[in-house]
Amino acid sequence: MKQFFEIEVEQQFSAAHRLRGSGAKCENLHGHNWNVVAVVRGERLDRLGMVMDFKVLRQALLDVLEELDHRDLNALPAFEKVNPSAENIARFVYERLTRKIVARGVRLERIRVAESDGCWATYGRQG
């Protein structure tokens, strides 16, 4: 059985969106205070006994979320063809954050996004 370590950081951003084609109130422009959790996995610890410095991971996540913060998500190129649902936001953050931490010898395991309390969407990749 393989052993591993995981660390998580959580950050927030505020943004508006509308879910085109939903046929419900969510088609109207509305906003959320989004909660985002990034989970990083590593099989080894560095010389300091860490998978990755929390501060480094938190800053990388903040850099990605800066693209979304206080924006109309539907107006962003990433969401021109797909709705800015919690699921698609999780994928967006995962893809951007993966590029920022790829050289550190760790793997971004998953991103969890909540648009309201108790409602989470998760995106990750197997393998």
State the first-to-last Cα distance of the chain, in angstroms, to the nearest integer.
Answer: 16
pLDDT 10s digits, 42-84: 999 999 999 999 999 999 999 999 999 999 999 999 999 999 9
Q: What is the reported pTM?
A: 0.94
Q: What span, in angstroms and rounded, lies between the C-alpha atoms of 17 and 102?
A: 30
Average pLDDT score, the chain: 94
Query: What is the CATH classification number for the domain harbouring 96?
Result: 3.30.479.10
- The structural domain count of the chain equals 1
Output the pLDDT for position 105.
77
pLDDT at 127: 67
Q: How many CB atoms are located within 10 Å of the residue 114 CB?
A: 19
Q: Residue 30's domain spans which residues?
A: 5-124
pLDDT in tens, 19-39: 999 888 999 999 999 999 999
Q: Please check whether residue 108 is in contact with residue 101, taking contact to mean a CB–CB distance below 8 angstroms.
A: yes
Helix (H, G, I), strand (E, B) or coil at 126: coil
Q: Report the 10 Å Cβ neighbour count for 110.
A: 17
